[in-house]
Structure 1
Amino acid sequence: MTTYALRAAVPALALLAAATVGAASPALATTGAAAAPAAVRQAALRVMPLGDSITWGVGSSTGNGYRGPLFGTLGGEGYVPDFVGSGRGGTMTDPDNEGHSGWRIDQIAGIADAELAAYEPNVVTLMIGTNDLNQNYQVPTAPDRLHALVDRITADDPGATVLLADLIVSTAPAVVQAEPAYNTAVAQIVQSEQAAGKHVSYVDMGALTSSDLADSLHPNDTGYQKMADAWNKGVQAADAAGWIQQPPAVTGPVPSGIAGKCLDVNGGSSTNGTAVQIWTCNSTPAQSWTEATDGTLRAVGKCLDATANGTTNGTPVEVWDCNGGGNQQWQPYNGGFRNPVSGRCLDDPNRSTTDGTHLVLWDCNGGANQQWTVG
């Protein structure tokens, strides 16, 4: 067991505090200036929000927690954010996350391997440990469990950047007592991970005060906005350091926001011009899609294609030989896919539930008929 001692002043931790996100690495120390917005950042962001009920968004008026304002800020800065996870919570149009109410570090560790393999994020926002402290669950060894969890994440997904946050302020007596030592340990874990050459960065949540709480444990909307700002600084610093890599290709079915329906190639045919449709999910090759690193969506050896380079509402989509055309580009957008040339989204017309309904381009609206999740 590693001993994490609370100390009043540690030179290395002073350097952590000096950086915008608290990184011990000089490469992540910033001047505090905001990065200039870009039309589209070079690397897409496949973000897995990972943690407990604070990640889920308990205490926020929308249920989005920090995820909603963070998603909006990243998009405004020119990133193409795609939040991923097995849960969907809140009113935001991309509500995917791995926030689990009441969970401790050991419980998050129990699902980490499977969820990381399924979604392969290139950024993980991790804050966990509040329930360990609040439940008085083996508190002295909580930092060791956290360190092991971070090691597991970096082993499972070596290309990912892990943004590790300390715990926010709390008024719950058990948390108030144990939190200072725990948060010191969080910073020391980041130092250890960086010394081992891993892309793990410290995100300081010290801007939140008790006035930013909805209850003894969870932030209110103001608190969640402050959390989003802190996470965003972490992303900016990691990106400036060259840590954020293009997310890997992911292959699997693409379920629709319409329950029980999946993205499907008609008859599983690889003939150019074959319609792409919705169909009851059935795990056949006709429903196995790859979200490739070149911005294409591929199935049956072909690319998802807006017919005849169409850009208008109602343009049908099909499969066609991959040719690098703009009509075969698809960006994650608001929980679905947008063709950047047309500015329109992959759409199930009129929210149809009828098998064989031909999919089209349509103005992006965040509806369930425009929700598509790979994997």
Structure 2
Amino acid sequence: MSDPDNEGHSGYKIHQIAALADASLTRYRPNVVTLVIGTNDLNESYQVSTATARLRSLVDQITGAAPAATGLVASLAVSTSGSEEQYRAAYNQAIPHIVRDAQAAGKRVAYVDMSSLTTADLADTLHPNDAGYQKMADAFHRGIQAADGAGWLRNPAPAPAAARVQSGLAGKCLDVNGAGTADGTAVQIWSCGDGANQLWSAYTDGTLRSMGKCLDAAWGTANGTKVQTWTCNGGSNQVWQLYNGGYRNPASGRCLDVPGSSAADGTQLQLWDCNGGSHQKWTALTAG
């Protein structure tokens, strides 16, 4: 492989991968997403009754964040873990239904069957040996070939350039508080630096994104509505247009504003009537 780098998170469960997915999809803009997940949930008996619902939610999250990508959702391979095995069959039975529902909704999602692996293909109770991983790779390869034959595959989309968004208040930048990735993290002004939480990208859907989340006007359109980051969801409260040297949310008709023209680090931004003041001026990003 010309680029063998990968990112792994040992022991992660479905909800933990979901928390990372938006940032990765925003950064890399993939054309194929391979998904084999749930082993740790089942092996640790973690909220097993909701595991398939959480998998369905993750598939929806991925296809929503990367609608042009092809998703390949795999069944779980055999193990010798008594904890996992007691749940694995029922979990695997649900996966084709999740895939069919996604396809019925017009999404490019396909099922990959890992039933060719046997206990002889295991290196320990859960993990395949080299022969097992080869079988898994072959199964995903067949899935990719089938997706290509169906005309699903597209070239990976180039990610929009990320840059700081500087305020009209000298030396201050648009900043995600504490580099947080949780929904509801405050967006504030802070002295300009080189952190990832001050890098923003403008997308053609009108969103401004940082840390894998969208710039979001929280629960309202009135003056004083707080601005935060939130999972990108296509809402009108996440659309921003260049306006008079700043950014305006067209649903509210109000602008991205630093309350009281405060230059204090940590001042959370808000919506306010557009007035052209320096506290509503922001450097423009080019959408991509």
The one of 124, 136, 139 aligned to 1:230: 139
- Where 1:100 maps in the other structure, the secondary structure is coil
Per the alignment, residue 91 of structure 2 pairs with 182
Match of 1:111? 20
Counterparts of residues 322-341 of structure 1 (less than 5 Å):
none
CA distance in 2, matches of 1:124, 1:96: 15
Distance of aligned partners of 1:167 and 1:282 in 2 relative to their CA distance in 1, 3 Å threshold: closer
Alpha-carbon separation, structure 2, partners of 1:183 and 1:97: 26
Alignment of 1:192-231 (within 5 A): 192-231=101-140
Q: Is the 8 A contact 2:14 2:41 kept in 1?
A: yes
| CA distance in 2: counterparts of 1:159 and 1:98, whole angstroms | 22
What SS does the corresponding residue of 2:61 show, helix, strand or coil?
helix
Query: Take 2:7 and 2:102, find their aligned partners in 1: how far apart are those partners?
Result: 23
Counterpart of 1:173? Answer: 82
Where does the alignment leave 5 or more consecutive residues of structure 1 unmatched?
Answer: 1-91, 254-280, 284-375
SS at match of 2:60: helix
Which residue is equivalent to 1:3? Answer: none
* Fraction of identical pairs, as percent: 59
Residue in 1 aligned with 2:60? 151
Q: What is the TM-score when the length of structure 2 is the normalising length?
A: 0.55
Kindly indicate whether the alpha-carbon contact (under 8 Å) linking 2:35 and 2:71 is maintained by their aligned counterparts in 1: yes
AA matched with 1:154:
T
User: Structure 1 runs of 4+ off > 2 angstroms?
Assistant: 92-99, 250-253
Matched ranges for 1:296-375 at <5 A: none
| CA deviation map 1:256-292 (0-9, x unaligned) | xxxxxxxxxxxxxxxxxxxxxxxxx999xxxxxxxxx
Q: What SS is found at the alignment partner of 1:125? A: strand
User: For residue 241 of structure 1, what is the aligned residue in structure 2?
Assistant: 150
Give 1:218 shift.
0.2
> What's the counterpart of residue 123 of structure 1?
32
The Cα of 1:95 is off from its aligned counterpart by: 2.7
For normalisation by structure 1, the TM-score amounts to 0.43
Counterparts of 1:252-267 in structure 2, within 5 Å, are 252=161
Q: Secondary structure at the match of 1:96?
A: coil
SS at match of 2:6: strand
Q: Secondary structure in 2 aligned to 1:103?
A: coil
